[in-house]
Amino acid sequence: MDLDRMLDRCQTQQWSVDDLDWSPAPRALSAADEQLVVQMFTDMAAIERLAGAMFVEQARRARDPRLQAIFESFVIDEERHAVVAERLARHYDVHRLKAYAVTPALTAFAPPFLQAIRTVSDDVANGYITAGELILDIALLRSLDDFVADPMSAQAMQRINRDESRHIAIDYHMVAYYASDEYLLDLHRRPSPPLRDQLRAARAMALVMVHAAPFFRGVFFDPLGRIDPSSKRIREVFKNIQLLAAKPGVRRRPIAKWFLLCMEVFNHPLTGRFLGGVTARMVGVDRSVMSWLTTAEEMARASRATFDELAEQALRAKTIH
């Protein structure tokens, strides 16, 4: 990736919330749909700020000043997205049917997740960030925009989508780096973290696993089940995650090994019968996306593809209807 070009795009493609035309009246929604949409935009604001906090950590760890500046621009992007989501929630809250608050499962998940991101190794942190960005951008935002089907949402999502495409491109660039021999050599040169830090990271990850399933169910799977009953987009997200985790270089990293082991246990005829529910909960996702969603041919093709090509494939999934 040309980091100079990416940094230039990050700087020149900035925009303001007030660049959007907020004057159109919202499309009429049923009472149930209005409550669903407002709640999802309310949660979206909190998710975007969670993503911003993750990029703060990425910027702190970046050694290349260009990468640091790129991640700092992402923090600005995510705060802007959060403000847009809050205004969209107010825009569609036409009938004031209830008081809205961030879903409790999201509120409970955020602190241990951020603690985990700050304490685990670089590649593990990046793995969670990449997966989260894919779920947010490909599944949640696109499906919500399709469901709202309103010009106000469409113009906002078009701007947000452009920002998120940059984020995913960099996410894949970082996955490539953490899968490289260069990173492994650098990792071996570093002193092992103190035992206290290792225990702190392990405790943070344990808390993430406790809160992950309710979070994903309450914020992603249940709402997406209502606005995208076909589950095409969420399945496409996890298909891309499976392809990325199985790529040579990536699969030797601890987080990919753990994910693929959970997949093997879940899909094995014997262990899946007794431990399938446990492994799905450990990953924090619905059982429907724990099945293998890729073919052997797709796996082989992904193993030969560059990380840029895999990123482009993931981004094309946004267009699925």
**Which phi and psi (to 5°) does residue 150 adopt?**
-140, 140
| 127 neighbors 175 (Cβ within 8 angstroms) | yes
For residue 320, the model assigns a pLDDT of 64
Question: What's the CATH number where 169 sits?
Answer: 1.10.620
Angle formed at CA 217 by CA 47 and CA 225, multiple of 5 degrees: 100
- Other CB atoms within a 10 A radius of the CB of residue 131 amount to 22
pLDDT at 44: 96
DSSP-based three-state secondary structure for 66: helix
* Paired tokens of 152: 């106000």
299 lies in some domain: yes
Residue 200 sits in which domain range? 3-15+28-319
Residues of 283-298 as b/e, b for ≥16 C-beta within 10 angstroms?
A: bbbbeebbeebbeeee
Apex 106 CA angle, 102 and 111, nearest 5: 115
Residue 223 lies in a domain: yes
Residues 86, 284, 304: CA angle, nearest 5 degrees: 95
Would 111 be classed as within a structural domain? Answer: yes
Alpha carbon distances (Å) from 122 to 54, 117, 129, 187, 254: 12, 8, 11, 10, 11
Asked whether 59 and 68 are in contact (CB, 8 A), the reply is yes
Q: Is 113 exposed, middle or buried (0-12, 13-18, 19+ CB in 10 A)?
A: buried
The rounded distance, in Å, linking the Cα atoms of 261 and 233 is 24
* 92, part of any domain: yes
What lies within 8 Å, CB to CB, of 136 at 6+ separation is 47, 48, 51, 164
Tally of domains within the chain: 1
* C-alpha span between 55 and 49 (Å, rounded): 10
Q: What pLDDT shows up at residue 111?
A: 92
Q: Is residue 22 in some structural domain?
A: no
In a domain, 147, yes or no: yes
Residue 149 belongs to some domain of the structure: yes
Q: Are 258 and 282 in contact (CB under 8 A)?
A: no
Determine the pLDDT at residue 288. Answer: 86
| 268 domain residue, yes or no | yes
Q: Which residue has the tokens 């790129």?
A: 70
CA 71 and chain centroid, separation: 15
The one-digit pLDDT tens for each residue of the chain (321 residues) are 899 999 999 999 999 999 999 999 999 999 999 999 999 999 999 999 999 999 999 999 999 999 999 999 999 999 999 999 999 999 999 999 999 999 999 999 999 999 988 888 888 888 888 998 999 888 999 999 999 999 999 999 999 999 999 999 999 999 999 999 998 888 888 888 888 888 888 888 888 888 888 999 999 999 999 999 988 899 999 999 999 988 888 988 888 898 999 999 999 999 998 899 889 888 888 888 899 999 999 999 999 999 999 999 998 887 765
